[in-house]
Amino acid sequence: MSENIEVLNTIKKYNRIVISRHTRPDGDCLGSSYALKRIIQLTWPEKEVYVINSDKSKNLAFLGKDDPQIESYENTLVIVLDTSTAERISNPRFNEGSCIVKIDHHKDTQTYGDIEWVENERSSVSEMIASFYNDHNKTLKIDKYAATCLYAGICTDSGFFKYGSTSPQTLKLAAMLMEKGVETENLYARLELVDFRILKYQSKIIDEIQMTPNGVAYYYVTDEIKKEFDLSEEEASMGVDFFNSIKGSPIWLLFVQQKNSIRVRLRSRFIALNELAGKYNGGGHLNACGATVYTDAQMQALINDADALLKQSKKENPEIE
Ligand SMILES: [Mn+2]
């Protein structure tokens, strides 16, 4: 809360503000950026506010548009949203700002801001901006567009309110945004649209999915498959979500071929995977990890280890499914 007031006071002091976010943008960093810009513009029409980044999103372009790079960062406040480390910031000039504010909900891995407001347990930075508005609603103004951007960011980062990071506060703030006129049905429809080629990719995975004796589901995305569906790295790795609800398969793995290695995405419910990921050059959260293997034999070893882990887990807890 005190950082939140410090952020407000800092915004008041500057007449030129640049908002930046992380590379490979997602709904949260885009939604929070466009919403914060709109809130500042509505509240202080005399301020210049820009959203400036060096890459953009195709699928979420309906949320808003970035501004072109500006000439000078003199007397400029730079606000970086949803980005834990400086190297992920999608604006190479963020450091030229007179003051840098970081607002984030990732584990605080690196300090780069003069002022940092970080809350790990928040579902999203969009939720933090919604709460920022809510805490200062005597001063700040919001409209339907800003509320829609924030609502979109909360939805995408919380898996539409399904992940554990969704708190009573998340839902209260979502309700507050809804009262500002968010048309949720339209928004969900837009957020859920997929390209036809991605649907075909999904169909291929579902058709060819592999299964170990104890129920670990897995799939290997080769370069050939990436080419066939014209997949970017990100699109290829999205495949891990295509088989996340098979009954009896609480562990599922996606392997993605790289130049000199194989990237692994590990997912589970009810079973901790981080130790397994650690054994294969990776790590992460309890139920969502990343790892890297270098040969087909290592890939098979990881699959065998996952199968043994699942066998053991099902023995210890027969309710796992
Ligand atoms: Mn986020």
Cβ-Cβ contacts under 8 Å for 5 (sequence gap 6 or more) = none
Over residues 10-21, the pLDDT tens digits come to 999 999 999 999
Cα 131 versus chain centre, distance: 19
Q: How confident is the model at residue 281 (pLDDT cuts 50, 70, 90)?
A: very high
pLDDT at 250 over 70: yes
Secondary-structure breakdown of the chain: helix, strand, coil percentages, each rounded to the nearest 5: 45, 15, 40
Over residues 103-155, the pLDDT tens digits come to 999 876 789 999 999 999 999 999 999 999 999 999 999 999 999 999 999 99
Over residues 235-248, the pLDDT tens digits come to 999 999 999 999 99
The pLDDT assigned to 63 comes to 97
The pLDDT assigned to 286 comes to 84
Percent of the residues in the chain that have a pLDDT greater than 70, as a whole number? 99
Distance 254 CA to ligand 1 centre (A): 22
The pLDDT assigned to 108 comes to 65
Helical segments of 122-266, H only:
125-135, 144-157, 168-178, 184-191, 196-208, 223-228, 233-238
**Which CATH number is associated with domain 2-191?**
3.90.1640.10
Cβ-Cβ contacts under 8 Å for 4 (sequence gap 6 or more) = 117, 131, 132, 135, 136
Taking the model in full, what pTM does it have?
A: 0.88
What is the strand order of the sheet 210-211 is part of? 210-211, 217-221, 251-257, 262-268, 288-293, 283-284
Distance 248 CA to ligand 1 centre (A): 30
Number of C-beta neighbours around residue 266 at 10 A: 25
Distance 1 CA to ligand 1 centre (A): 19
Taking the domains of the chain in order of start, what are their residue ranges?
A: 2-191, 196-316
Q: How confident is the model at residue 1 (pLDDT cuts 50, 70, 90)?
A: low
Cα–Cα distance, 45 to 146 (Å, whole number): 15
Distance 26 CA to ligand 1 centre (A): 8
Distance 122 CA to ligand 1 centre (A): 9
Cα–Cα distance, 223 to 228 (Å, whole number): 9
Q: What angle do CA 135, 154, 187 make, to 5 degrees?
A: 115
With 0-12 / 13-18 / 19 or more C-beta atoms within 10 angstroms meaning exposed / middle / buried, residue 133 is: buried
The pLDDT assigned to 129 comes to 98
Distance 227 CA to ligand 1 centre (A): 29
Q: Which DSSP state fits 283?
A: E
Cβ-Cβ contacts under 8 Å for 221 (sequence gap 6 or more) = 231, 236, 237, 239, 254, 255, 256, 257
Closest CA to 244 of 236, 256, 253, 235: 253
Q: What angle do CA 100, 105, 107 make, to 5 degrees?
A: 95
| Amino acid identity, position 102 | K
Taking residues 168-192, what's their average pLDDT? 97
Per DSSP (E only), the strands in 37-136 are 48-51, 76-81, 99-104, 115-118
pLDDT at 234 over 90: no
Distance 9 CA to ligand 1 centre (A): 24
pLDDT at 26 over 80: yes
What is the topology classification, in CATH, of domain 196-316?
A: Diaminopimelate Epimerase; Chain A, domain 1 (3.10.310)
Distance 47 CA to ligand 1 centre (A): 26
pLDDT at 57 over 90: no
Cβ-Cβ contacts under 8 Å for 172 (sequence gap 6 or more) = none
Distance 214 CA to ligand 1 centre (A): 34
